[in-house]
Amino acid sequence: MSQKSWEGSLTALFLEAAEGLRELAQPVGADDRVKSQIGQAARRAGLSYWRAFDLWYRKARRVEAVEIEAIRAARAARSRESSDELACLAADFEALAERVSRLAAGSGRADADALRALSRRTRNLAEGE
């Protein structure tokens, strides 16, 4: 492997680590400081604050495979959590649609149908379609 291609793969790992930490810091509030974002990402990835700081700002001299795997695992766990939340939200919409249709026998039909459509769209998001 030439040094140029070797350096390119290292750069890709540094970028993946930095971008992965930024993703783990989401959602970011309007008044959140970068320091708190780095701390949040570090906790989620199981890294120390200062190690996450160095990776966040691409100051690290090296990226360990264990660190990359920890960031990847934390991102995957967050993805599963958001999928589960969407599935719960879809179930809530469906229950609300049932309640609306029972309470407003004829006039609430359109509202119940709209809620059911929203439930289907949310389930599709949860399933990744």
- Could you report the per-residue pLDDT of 11-31, keeping only the tens digit for each? 888 999 999 999 999 888 878
pLDDT of residue 3: 46
Residue-by-residue DSSP string for 69-90: HHHHHHHHHHHHHHHHHHHHHH
pLDDT of residue 128: 65
- From the CB of residue 54, how many other CB atoms can be counted at a distance below 10 Å? 19
Query: Taking a C-beta distance cutoff of 8 angstroms, is the pair 89, 122 a contact?
Result: yes
pTM of the model: 0.61
Residue-by-residue DSSP string for 19-61: HHHHHHT-S--TT--HHHHHHHHHHHHT--HHHHHHHHTT--S
Weakest-pLDDT range from 53-57, 66-70, 79-83, 103-107? 103-107
- Could you report the per-residue pLDDT of 44-71, keeping only the tens digit for each? 999 999 999 999 999 988 899 899 999 9
